[in-house]
Amino acid sequence: MTTWPLADLLPHAGDMILIDAIDSCDEEQIHTHATVRAGGQFNRADGSLPAWLALELMAQSVAAYAGHRARRLGQAVEMGFLLGTRKFACNVEHFPAGTELRIHAQRSLEDDNGMGVFECHLRGDGIHASARLNVYRPPQASQYLAEAAPEDHPHD
């Protein structure tokens, strides 16, 4: 497996990248991991992360999957959107500082228009979270965003 720095695969920057690395990636799935570190912008006072951040870790894993595939195919890494989630479940309320989290995202549907569905799981010591993520990566995302932006002129 060819590897690239996560910053080259994700449209996130600096502290907004919450996953640490890709463990494996192929045409259908990705395995990533992250260690909960105290002091981040999303941490609770005790250094733990709230369980709802599992969705962001899953979404970043899906984004890394898309970025990895784009780089492998010699294409530009484009921005994508998390449209929603279904069936989110987590057996804990937070992830303690120091916990090693393993994230798995499996592609279950993807069409030529950029719509996709991924079955995701996050596991750690005594931790299991799962969700189905609905994502959208428009062709030429930067052009899509420019078209969607309101006109930038003063009103008379």
SS3 state at 115: strand
**Mean pLDDT of the 67-85 span:** 90
Residue 145 has pLDDT above 80, yes or no: no
CA quadruple 45, 49, 55, 59: dihedral sign:
positive
At 5-29, the pLDDT tens digits run: 788 888 766 678 899 999 999 999 9
% pLDDT > 70, the chain: 85
**Mean pLDDT of the 77-98 span:** 94
pTM, two decimal places: 0.86
- Topology (CATH level 3) of domain 6-148: Thiol Ester Dehydrase; Chain A (3.10.129)
Average pLDDT of the residues of the chain: 88
Strand-by-strand arrangement of the 81-90 sheet:
21-25, 29-35, 100-110, 115-124, 127-136, 81-90
Q: Tell me the C-alpha to C-alpha distance, in Å, between residue 34 and each of 22, 84, 97, 107.
A: 9, 22, 11, 20
**Mean pLDDT of the 56-68 span:** 95
Residue 95: pLDDT band (50, 70, 90) is: very high
Domain definitions of the chain by residue range: 6-148
